[in-house]
Amino acid sequence: MIVNSGTGADGRSGGGIGSGGNGEEQQAASLSHPRQGYQMSSPSVSSTPQSQPHSYGHGAGQSSQSSHHYQPHQHPSGPQYPPTHRGVLYCSTRGGCRDVTFEEVVMGGLAPDKGLYVPQELPYIPPEQLEKLRDASFVELANYIMRLVVGPEDIPPENLRVLIECSTKNFRVHEVAPVRKVGPTWVLELFHGPTFAFKDVALQFLGNVFEYFMAKKKGDPDVKLTVLGATSGDTGSAAIEGLRGKKNVNVFVLYPKGRVSEVQERQMTTVLDKNVHCIAVENATFDDCQSIIKSAFQDKEFREKVCLGAVNSINWARVLAQVTYYFFAYFRVLAQNERAMRKEQQQQQQQQREGNEGGRGGVSPVTESKATGSGGSGKDGGASDGGEEGGAPATSSGGMPNSGGGGREGGREGHTGSKRSRSLPKMSFSVPTGNFGDALAGYYAKAMGLPIDKILIATNENDILHRFFSNGKYWRREVHPTLSPSMDIAISSNFERLLYHLAGRDPDLLREWMEEFERTGRLTLPPPTLAKAREDFVSCRVDEPVMLETMLSFLREHHYLLCPHSAVGVAAAKGLDMLDAHTVCLATAHPGKFLDATLKHLPVEVAEVEEIEEDMPTQLRELDHLPTRSVTLPASAFYVQKYILQTLEGKDNQALLRWLEMAGLIWGYGDGKLGRRRRRWSMAVAVAVLGTAVGVWVGARRAAAGGGRGVLS
């Protein structure tokens, strides 16, 4: 079953109460307009291009060279960077602090007053500057956007660029986040990172930023950061991959035992780096894990003792990093749509010329001139279908609402002979949503000037956000396990940021709302506030049978396998009649991460299953053969904090456990060599067996002291 948020037949145009009117009115109602409470700061644009342009590369060996001489790659007519300026400052949604720097926000995670950090102002990128960003690569675009937000006092420009380059070098494709046309559907593939999930984009960056800021504190070698995170599946492995081996950083990841896929769990527990610690929380949901995290941040003594940092999307740096791929996807889809439109126009013109030539025998020159002129391409004739210089490509009835037949301003005026700058059409994004961080990034991208029409909140049966956008009731309910586990969430922790903006950036009102919700589990907002939310969002709930049907239809019709979460996003867009050239569906994870769970529910032949499994990435197929390490603890903040303290204070024991595990590997390898090198390997076997026994005993003792049981496998 698909349930939408009362949007009517056309999900986009009917999604918001009071969202009608032309595109200019909608832009005025968006967050990016000053009347919403933001102090907008448009970046200055220099007319002089930088000299000695530097082309970015994705190779590991290029960042060291480019770190000495910072010369951004700019075409003469391309994006010009603003002059050095102070970065954006931040405040808590609950009003407890203001004028917080980017470094303090990243390292602090959660605000001391239990609120989330939000920018006090956002840079606005005007349309003429957006035009210059159209051809930028992902790295160039990320560098441009982040330089508007991150000031040189936090990260100098040359260092920021190197951090971004390093954060993308482990992606398997040059584009980082390529856009693919699958049938009529635009799919933004966000699963080409190290852990095959969209969270790699942000967490590779966050891990490097953590290490960078810790290196700035090298005058105090005793300062070590403890990063604590909760995961419903993908965040954990992405955080671990982004932080493994980082200097002066330890990472602890909590996950609900039995509520993540087997691949997701093994992606976490097979990482044996000494600074990585996986905690399976017994009899818990993701929300229970999230609650433990928040309790740790609210414990001032514990927070300061371990120098606690956050890796979940409550950390603003994650949201900022995700803003970049909305811009990137928009420009890539825009370019491909325009190419398709030009090709169609050329075909129409060719057909028209052929038709005119076939009928010349009885047509006077004057009549012929009128016939050919009325179908002008827009370059000279000014026809309403746009053309090379006639504004945005015209759209039919299937185009974006309020497009006026040719983008937001309806293309250029016909038959005037004047040349107007091309207006950029609006696009919508369908976002599989759990914790709301990804959708919030789209909201901020729109605030910064990206022409976004609607952000579609696609949920599974755990639909607290869909219910809010349907009737204004943000009511907590019990979580039900589904085949899309990363969306099995009762409370969306990032939603507080949106509520803050819906409250008119009034921290007192927001605090009142959140205290009511924390006390009762219910928050109901008045109709005017709901109407304000619907100006930017629509929502749709997709039940499991529809999700599976979508996966099967894509596999049958397009030979393209979606992961369950991505299938929810596509099904939601289809349910709201939004699968067209102006909607992009986010593919948030590789299907191989959920293969065992989903294939048993799809009516596919054995041969098809084998073919699909053969196409899965080697990294995922080999997980079954790797050793794992984790600890299981009760769903209690007390026990988790105690375990963290004991682990950090017992570094020698941790090193011993790692060594003993390696001894176990030597024993397993040597077992097959005893025939040839009996004497040598008998010693290794003896040491390994003794070491493993001692390791299990030490792990059990330490975990028992923390209230849980150690697991070495």
Residue 378's CB is within 10 A of a number of other CB atoms, namely 22
Q: How far apart are CA 18 and CA 28, in angstroms?
A: 13
Considering 114, 169, 181, 199, which one is annotated as catalytic?
Answer: 199
- Cα–chain center distance at 577: 24
Q: How far apart are CA 456 and CA 10, in angstroms?
A: 13
Q: How far apart are CA 116 and CA 713, in angstroms?
A: 38
The secondary element (H helix, E strand) that includes residue 234 is helix 234-243
| 152 class by beta-carbon count within 10 Å (0-12 exposed, 13-18 middle, 19+ buried) | middle
Q: How far apart are CA 526 and CA 555, in angstroms?
A: 43
- Only one residue has tokens 């200097």, namely 247
Q: Where are the alpha helices (DSSP H) in 97-223?
A: 102-108, 127-132, 138-149, 157-168, 199-216
Q: To 10 degrees, the CA torsion angle through 586, 591, 592, 593?
A: 70
Three-class HEC string of 567-600: HHHHHHHHHCCCCCCCEEEEECECHHHHHHHHHC
One-letter amino acid for residue 686 of the chain: A
One-letter amino acid for residue 638 of the chain: F
| Residue 473: HSE in the Cβ half-sphere, 13 Å Cα cutoff | 10
For 95-106, letters b (16+ CB in 10 Å) and e give bebeebbbbbbb
Report the interhelical angle of 464-471 vs 527-534 (nearest 10°).
Answer: 110
Q: How far apart are CA 128 and CA 469, in angstroms?
A: 33
- Only one residue has tokens 């827009």, namely 378
The set of residues, in sequence order, having a beta carbon less than 8 Å from that of 200 and lying 6+ positions away, is: 171, 193, 194, 238, 241, 242
Q: How far apart are CA 50 and CA 34, in angstroms?
A: 31
Instruction: Tell me, yes or no, if 199 is annotated catalytic.
Output: yes
CA distances from 60 to 56, 162, 170, 573 (A): 12, 11, 9, 38
Residues 675, 681, 683, 689, CA torsion sign = negative
Q: How far apart are CA 174 and CA 540, in angstroms?
A: 33
Q: What is the three-class DSSP state of 432? A: strand
Q: Which residues pair with 187 in a beta bridge?
A: 180, 585
Active-site amino acid positions: 199
